[in-house]
Amino acid sequence: MEKWQGWPNIQFESELDPGFADEIASIPGGEKLFSCIQCGTCSGMCPLSPCMDHTPRQIIAMIRAGFKEDVMSSRTTWLCASCYACAVECPKEISITDIMYAAKRVAIREGAFPKRLPIPILAHEFFAEVEQTGRSTESWLLVRLFLKTNPFDMFKQAGLGMRLWLKGRMTLKRDSIKRRGELHKMLKTLDRQHMVKSQRELQAEEREIA
């Protein structure tokens, strides 16, 4: 079996996920994934490209080739500043930023993002806070973030937090909506609709294979 070179996680062809590209392309914003001509304009325009472990062009190539594990563990999608400079200059008018968002959605859903990287953890904890209370309380959100990344940083920021609290810019009270039950019903309905859609897509794929 041929061994792949140059990627940190995927080593063998059998480890590739051939359905990963279709998964990303099915998410709103990823429709033009297969239109990429790999010219590299996006990588040249990206202001954060030097800080990324894989350039935007490479990420698109990896998605289309099925390198799901490597894309999910990459810092590139999380470093995207959403400036849309890549989308503006792309000769195929591909919204690379939206493809990055699509990859992040999959990573959050599967819990496959880089461990202890603050950005995906912040996104996850934000949604968890809103799901529980219907609102996002900054002080509570920061506590959740620090506990999941580096608890000692919370003590380093204690002075700043105290000054914000004294000036009324931060509250220790956890905000919450009154009718949380209705919010939970809405979220459960959305989950059921997503499950039904996924089952229909799976059945359609099985019929095509048959």
Q: 35: domain CATH number?
A: 1.10.1060.10
Name the residue range of residue 142's domain.
115-183
Cβ atoms of residues 19 and 60 within 8 Å: no
| Number of folded domains that form the chain | 2
Q: Is residue 195 part of a domain?
A: no
Token pair for residue 95? 């919204």
Higher pLDDT, 90 or 27: 90
Same domain, 50 and 134: no
| Phi (first) and psi of residue 3, to 5 degrees | -95, 130
Q: Determine the pLDDT at residue 3.
A: 39
| Phi (first) and psi of residue 12, to 5 degrees | -125, 150
Give me the sign of the Cα torsion angle 155, 156, 158, 164: negative
With a CB cutoff of 8 Å and minimum separation 6, the contacts of 192 are: none
Q: Per-residue pLDDT tens for 62-108?
A: 999 999 988 988 889 989 999 999 999 999 999 999 999 999 888 88
User: What average pLDDT does the chain have?
Assistant: 82
Task: Give the predicted TM-score (pTM) of the model.
Answer: 0.65
Q: Is residue 8 part of a domain?
A: no
Q: Is residue 56 part of a domain?
A: yes
Same domain, 178 and 155: yes
Same domain, 101 and 49: yes
Same domain, 134 and 60: no
Q: Is residue 165 part of a domain?
A: yes
